[in-house]
Amino acid sequence: MAKLRHIALIVSDPEVSAKFFQQAFDFKRVGTARRGIYLSDGTVNLALLRVEGDEKPGVYHFGVWVDDLDAAEKKVTAAGASYMSGRPASPNSYYECKYQDADGIVFDITHNGWVGAVKDVVPAKGKAEA
């Protein structure tokens, strides 16, 4: 199963937003982006991206970590998604392939993941599943 591991928000000021999420939720700063800051809760990466052009603050897209990129691309296309952008420069490069669903909701898929995210989460021993 693919794993939801990345959420990108468009924000007015990434530094102000990062301080908010760090103070409010104890998220950790794990990196920088060309236009913002990456935070993480230890499992999911939160990208805080500065507004560019006519963008409005809000949810920009989400990202899914897959085992096999080629198979995932075929599957999302067969389900009705349309390709937008993104391709690897080499087999080990970091990148995302961007798609959108029938409603125009944008999502990324990658087999390399995101800084601050982990693909597989192992429940602590002794804890009951909810």
Domain boundaries, the chain: 3-110
Kindly state the average pLDDT of the residues 94-116: 88
The CATH fold of domain 3-110: 2,3-Dihydroxybiphenyl 1,2-Dioxygenase; domain 1 (3.10.180)
pLDDT tens, residue by residue, 18-63: 999 999 999 999 999 889 999 999 999 999 999 999 999 999 999 9
pTM of the model: 0.83
Predicted confidence (pLDDT) at residue 128 exceeds the cutoff of 60: no
123 vs 117, residue with greater confidence? 117
The sheet that has 58-65: what strands, in order across it? 28-33, 36-40, 45-50, 3-11, 58-65, 106-110, 97-100, 82-85
